[in-house]
Structure formats: structure tokens, C-alpha cells
Structure 1
Amino acid sequence: MSALPAAILFDFDGTLIDSAPDILTGINLLLDEENLPKLDLAQVHQFIGDGAPMLVTRTFAAVGRPLDPDSVPAMTDRYMAIYESLPADPGCVFPGVAGTLASLRESIPLALVTNKPERATHAVLRAIGLDGLFTAVVGGDTLPTRKPHPGPLLHAMAQLGAAPARTVMVGDGANDVTAGRAAGCRVVCVTYGYPRMPVEELGADRLVDHFHDLPAALADLALQ
């Protein structure tokens, strides 16, 4: 068996990029339109990871004006319009990500599996120069399901022609671990993301403190 996996799936926000500042800017612009108080960065860290509708829902609950479920789609659309209008900062890419992905891509197919809407994901990838590295991109609205459901991971693996037992999911939170386990993958978590709980308690197979440590963790996984 090869020392490395047959395919690698990556989360986006909190794993490859520090998107929280841009998300905070977008959500605060929306709140300003609604004459509501702004959030701070620590709050946004807790709200990221479950898709834009949940981000918007949690935001409005936090500022004291919970949304009626019927109004969530329209408010989410407004938030996404604001967010997509913001220029993505190439500096949001975590250290070591670009070079490590490019190196892995030479021998292993890579996919991005995120709960961020697909159109916004492609736009950010283009803006930060990572768009040519992934064979497949699965967003939070690509399928009827999103992480922690295993469906998006299984969809990505089908596009890569990879078996779950030879695939590794790389993420930063419980959704990535839960989806990876349900899909039959091994899971590696970075320790610098937005996990909403101690990363040591997520149940990942391996933890990496720096993205450039990922290849060693992958080789160690496959050799077990």
C-alpha cells in the first residue's frame, strides 16, 4: 500500500483560510443595514462552520432579534450578496497552505468540501490563487445535504474515483470529523481553526499545529 492516501478532502474556512475577518465584515454590514449592534470576532468564530443560513440565524439571535424561519433565506441571500462583494485578501491563506497543497497535488487528487456556498467558494479560490489545485469543489449548497452529513464527502470521492478507506478528510471542527467518520474516511484536524470545542476532544486520527506538517501526518496515518 502506498504511504500516502489515494485522495484528500479539505475543509475551507478555518483550515485553509482565515475567513473570519471577512465574514465579520460582511455580517456587520448586514447588521448595520438592519440598525442592529455589531458582532465581534470571537462571536463570529463561534458561528462559522454550519453554512450561511446558520451563520445568519445565529447572528440575529445573538443581537436580540431572532429571525422567523421563513425570513432566513432572504436575509441569507442579502448577506451573501454583501460577502461576495468584498474583495478576498490573499493574505487570508494560512501559512504553508499554498505550497503544501501544490506539492500534494502532484501525486494525490485533492477536493474541497465546505459548507460555504459553492459560488462564493469558487470566487474566493480565484481571488486567493488556489483555484487550480482542486479536482472537485463541493459547497454547502451543491447537494441537499452539507457536513456533518457524509453526502458531500462521498460526492467528492466519487468525482475523484477514491475509496473511503484510502481517503483522508482534513478539517478543523466537529462537522469535519463527524462527516469523515460517517463517510468511512480517516480524519486529520488542524489545531488553529474554529472548532467551537477543544480540538483534542474532536476525535481526529491526527492533529497538526502547522499546515506544512500535514504530509508527515498523512504518511503516518497510512502506515498504521
Structure 2
Amino acid sequence: MTHSVIFDLDGTLIDSAADIHATANSVLGTHGLAPFTRTEVQGFVGRGAPVLVARMLEARAQPTEGPSFDAFLAAFLALYEGACTLTTVYPNAVAALEALAARGTRLGLCTNKPLAPTHAVLRHFGLDRFFPVVIGGDSLGVKKPDPAPLLAAQQQLGGGPLLFVGDSEVDAETATRAAAPFLLYTEGYRKSPIADLPHAASFSDFSDLPGLVARLSA
């Protein structure tokens, strides 16, 4: 049976940290709070927008629940949905997706990014054509590293063997908990050494991905 290949988004297919950084600092500024560096904001990424916002507010000694938090999160999400102008697709990622699609590989997306900005950025870069199945951070009641979102994407793609492609500790844990082979893109947002993340294979250039998928699917 043909394998499904499911991708994470931020830090895997796209480098969106600059847009997330700009959005975060814009909302912080309107609330009279000091900005963060890109590196600081990138360190908050990975577990969805509510956790990102909570981590930012906690670092600024602000409430991480209640009406003020809710208002800050709503303001962040309102800007975040259209934040695509500073984002880039990683080199050779589109060619790799085209090569996989040409082989008849079933492709899906499983991200902790909310669905609205996920669909917006996919449309912006023309990546939506590759992904008939998209699971976002607000698609289910849980997010990665809970395996349920990844398994839901697998089911919607028709079931069968699965490979998961991601860049982070959260993605590695998700794959482990879903009992799925993990392909680690090393140029994303991980904080740990490559050797510390369980993976079936790693790659730094998307040109290598179709070959790795072929080998692991054999």
C-alpha cells in the first residue's frame, strides 16, 4: 500500500518566524508591552497560538488566563491570519512536494497553527494544491504532541502506512506516540541536538526528501 506523507508546517515547509515575530510585537506594542527578539518568539513556537501567547505574556509578567489574556489572543489571531508577507517557503520544498505527488503519494498537513492562518498561508504560496487533508491546531480538542491530530490526518487520507515530516521536539514526540516513522528537517525550529530527537532519517535539503521517502516506504 502507498504510504501517506504528512507534514508539519511552520519550521518544516515554511519559515514563518519573521511574520509571527512581527505580529507578536505589534500586539505587544498596542498593549504597552516591550517587544521580543525574533529568537525569543521562535522559542515560543510549536504548541499552537494560545500557548505562544501565554508564553509571551508570562515572560512579560502578564496574566495567562482570563479576560485580558482572551483579548490579547483575539488581537493576535486577527493579525496572524493574514501574516504572510515575511514568510518564505524553504528551498526545494515545492519541488519535493511535486515529486512526491507525481508518484501518487498521498500528502497531508498536520500543524498546531490555527486553521485560518494555515489555509491563508497555503493559498498565498500555492501549496494548498498538494494537501487535500489539513489538520490545524483548532481542528480537534487536542494538539500535537498528542497523536490524535496526526492519526486523524492519516485516517482522512485513507489510512495505511504513514511517514511524518517535521522539524521539532513536538513533532518527534508526536510521531513516537503515533508509532509513525519520523523524518526530521534539520533547518527548522528545534532547540535540541539532532541526536536527541528520535527519527528514522534526517535531512537538511528538501532535494533529499523524495529519496528518503522511497527508501523508508520500500
Give TM class, smaller chain.
over 0.9
Q: Which moved more, 1:13-22 or 1:102-111?
A: 102-111
Indicate whether 1:22 and 2:24 are aligned.
no
| SS of residue matched to 2:5 | strand
Structure 2: 5+ residue stretches without partners = none
1-side partners of 2:187 and 2:154: how far apart?
Answer: 26
Corresponding residue to 1:144 among 137, 141, 146: 141
8 A Cα contact 2:112 2:143, kept in partner:
yes
Indicate whether 1:207 and 2:202 are aligned.
yes
Q: How many residues align?
A: 216
1:196 CA displacement? 2.0
Indicate whether 1:187 and 2:215 are aligned.
no
| SS of residue matched to 2:25 | helix
2-side partners of 1:61 and 1:149: how far apart?
Answer: 24
Structure 1 match to 2:39: 42
Structure 2 match to 1:222: 217
Structure 2 match to 1:65: 61
1:91 CA displacement? 6.0
What are the Cα deviations for residues 151-207 of structure 1, in whole angstroms up to 9, with x where unaligned?
A: 0011101111122xx210000011111111211211001000001222321111111
Structure 2 match to 1:135: 132
1:99 CA displacement? 1.2
Corresponding residue to 1:176 among 168, 171, 175: 171
1:219 CA displacement? 2.3
Corresponding residue to 1:12 among 9, 13, 23: 9
Structure 2 match to 1:33: 30
Structure 1 match to 2:89: 93
RMSD value, Cα: 1.5
* Shift in alpha-carbon separation, 1:68–1:17, aligned structure 2, 3 A: closer
1-side partners of 2:6 and 2:143: how far apart?
Answer: 14
| SS of residue matched to 1:188 | strand
1-side partners of 2:23 and 2:79: how far apart?
Answer: 6
8 A Cα contact 1:169 1:186, kept in partner:
yes
Corresponding residue to 1:51 among 48, 52, 74: 48
Q: Which amino acid aligns with 2:35?
A: K
User: Identity percentage over the alignment?
Assistant: 37
Structure 2 match to 1:121: 118
8 A Cα contact 1:189 1:206, kept in partner:
yes
